[in-house]
């Protein structure tokens, strides 16, 4: 390769490197703000911030408005406290205002209205944390210590308890238990009794299917019979509707005639009716005839020949 070709290759390599650098800068600067105007704050935590690293985002309701630039643990002897001091750069031009005049100290205005910070979890798998600033219903806590930069108050959350519980999980023991479960499943599936049980269950389902088909056919026949019975019942109902008025009329006439007959019978059998008088007289005659027959019987008992020779005079009754 001659000198001219080598110079051209080096020139192309330099141009390509510069272009890639510019593209990388543009790619890294796609947060929506210039990073040229930054306001520096410090956030003090009295709890563990394991998982928070330099470069972690600072967000306002999910929108990145800053980043962590330094993390240190500091002992404040006067207050007898050990605090984690997190230094962040906030970019005011990431927050746009509407209806008010522009103000470079927009973050200070937000904090005066109750803006506070808390730790958030970026990913459950990685365990990385970030800082979320927002308005909270909880009372913000401002640590009573002197800081190099203005302090952003904090609010408590349940993230630390969640992380402690997550870290307390014994993954090795969980893995052993999972292996035991898999071994039990393997032994269970290799057991002939399970296969037999599966076959029996399959046979039972087949029998149930056949039974359901038979029941469907039987129910179809029953439905036909019920349809026929319903039709007959409908005919009977129609017949009753047609004949019942006539029968009721005939019954009413019969009851009237029966009532008239009863009235006639009552009049006929009354004590002062002629029929009852004649029956009474006939009864009297029959009674007298009966006594005469009794007298004759007594005479014949005492004098059997009286019917031929006549009754002897002086014979008592």
Could you report the per-residue pLDDT of 164-212, keeping only the tens digit for each?
Answer: 666 677 777 877 888 888 877 777 777 777 777 777 888 887 888 888 7
Instruction: Quote the number of domains for the chain.
Output: 4
* pLDDT number for residue 57: 93
45 and 161 belong to one structural domain: yes
Q: Are residues 239 and 182 in the same domain?
A: yes
Same domain, 157 and 176: no
Residues 119 and 228 in one domain: no
* Residue 246 maps to a domain: yes
Of 102, 137, 167, the residue that ends a domain is 167
Residue 87 is predicted with a pLDDT of 94
Residues 160 and 53 in one domain: yes
Q: So what's the pLDDT on residue 172?
A: 78
176 and 161 belong to one structural domain: no
* Burial group, residue 215, by CB count within 10 angstroms (0-12, 13-18, 19+): exposed
**Domain of 4?**
1-30
> What are the φ/ψ torsions at residue 14 (nearest 5 degrees)?
-65, -45
Do 179 and 297 reside in the same domain of the chain? Answer: no
Look at residue 269 and tell me if it is in a domain: no
160 and 174 in a common domain: no
| The pLDDT of residue 18 is above 60 | yes
pLDDT (0 to 100) of residue 111: 77
Last residue of a domain, one of 139, 167, 195: 167
Answer whether residue 217 shows pLDDT above 80. Answer: no
Q: Is 176 found in the same domain as 132?
A: no
């Amino acid at each position: 390769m001659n000198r001219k070709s080598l110079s051209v290759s080096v020139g192309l390599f330099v141009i390509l490197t510069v272009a890639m650098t510019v593209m990388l800068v543009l790619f890294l600067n796609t947060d929506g703000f210039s990073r040229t105007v930054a306001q520096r704050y410090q956030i003090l935590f009295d709890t563990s911030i394991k998982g928070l690293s330099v470069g972690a985002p600072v967000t306002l309701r999910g929108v990145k408005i800053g980043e962590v630039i330094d993390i240190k643990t500091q002992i404040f002897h006067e207050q007898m406290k050990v605090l984690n001091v997190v230094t962040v750069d906030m970019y005011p031009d990431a927050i746009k205002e509407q209806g008010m005049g522009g103000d470079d100290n927009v973050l200070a205005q937000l904090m005066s209205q109750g803006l506070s910070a808390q730790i958030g979890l970026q990913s459950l798998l990685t365990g990385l944390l970030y800082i979320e600033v927002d308005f909270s219903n909880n009372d913000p806590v401002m640590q009573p210590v002197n800081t190099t930069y203005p302090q952003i108050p904090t609010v408590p959350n349940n993230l630390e308890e969640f992380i402690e519980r997550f870290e307390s999980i014994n993954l090795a023991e969980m893995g052993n238990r999972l292996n035991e479960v898999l071994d039990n499943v393997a032994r269970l599936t290799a057991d002939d009794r399970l296969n037999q049980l599966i076959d029996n269950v399959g046979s039972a389902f087949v029998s149930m299917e056949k039974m359901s088909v038979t029941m469907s056919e039987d129910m179809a026949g029953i439905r036909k019979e019920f349809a026929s019975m319903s039709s007959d019942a409908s005919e009977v109902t129609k017949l009753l509707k047609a004949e019942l008025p006539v029968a009721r009329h005939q019954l009413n006439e019969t009851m009237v005639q029966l009532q008239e007959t009863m009235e006639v019978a009552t009049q006929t059998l009354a004590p002062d009716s002629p029929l009852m008088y004649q029956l009474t007289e006939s009864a009297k005659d029959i009674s007298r005839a009966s006594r005469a027959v009794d007298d004759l019987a007594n005479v014949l008992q005492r004098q059997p020949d009286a019917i031929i020779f006549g009754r002897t005079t002086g014979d008592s009754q």
